[in-house]
Amino acid sequence: MDKKVITRTAHGTIVWDAKEKKALFISNEEAAKLEKEQAAPKEPAADKTEGKMTKGTKGKAPAKGKETADGE
């Protein structure tokens, strides 16, 4: 997206416009609409997980045998 929320205040919201490369002051209502648009997924989440490989869990390392004081 072109705009990213920087700071929220009681009177409005400051956003960074990447296209114009400057900060803008908008109302809280406009910021809520902007965040809602940005939060909406453009692609279904199921498509992203199909190609991923699952990572196996690591087992415990084998325990070392107890050594005696005389080295046996």
Q: pLDDT tens digits for the chain (72 residues)?
A: 688 888 999 999 999 999 999 999 999 999 999 889 888 776 665 655 565 666 666 666 666 667 666 665
The pLDDT assigned to 48 comes to 56
The number of CA neighbours under 13 Å toward the Cβ of 22 is: 4
Model pTM? 0.50
